[in-house]
Amino acid sequence: MRYADDLANWLEQLFRTIDDNDVDAFVQFMTPDCLYRFGSTDPLEGHAAIHAATVAFFETIDGLSHTLHRTWQDEDSVVCEGSVTYRRLDGSEVTVPFCNVFV
């Protein structure tokens, strides 16, 4: 059960950094040589590429907030499902589902 508590805390901290637009903290959740794919974009490799793409994405919105609904885990991976609300630059909001896979 302790592992589950650690995972819940890790995910909470991860999504808090994203919702706070803290790109420097966000990339620290990943290994320096990681592969990262956002939506249907091409995968990015490494902190510098992920940092640049995330900064660019955050410039297209006024803010966002994540709600985590469920998580699954096995020996080497975690999957989480939730919803994310994006605040657009015009002040409107849109909420969409998301699913993340961490290996």
State the CB neighbour count (10 A cutoff) for residue 11. 19
pLDDT score, position 34: 95
pLDDT by residue (tens digit) across 46-58?
Answer: 999 999 999 999 9
Radius of gyration of the chain (CA): 14
Total residues found in the chain within this entry: 103
Tokens standing for residue 87: 């605040």
How confident is residue 3, by pLDDT bands cut at 50, 70 and 90?
low
pLDDT by residue (tens digit) across 56-76?
Answer: 999 999 999 999 999 999 989
Long-range Cβ contacts of 93-102 (<8 Å, 24+ apart): 98/66, 101/77, 102/77, 102/78
pLDDT score, position 40: 92
- Percent of the chain scoring above 90 in pLDDT: 90
For residue 102, the surrounding DSSP H or E stretch is: strand 93-102
99: phi then psi, degrees, rounded to nearest 5: -140, 125
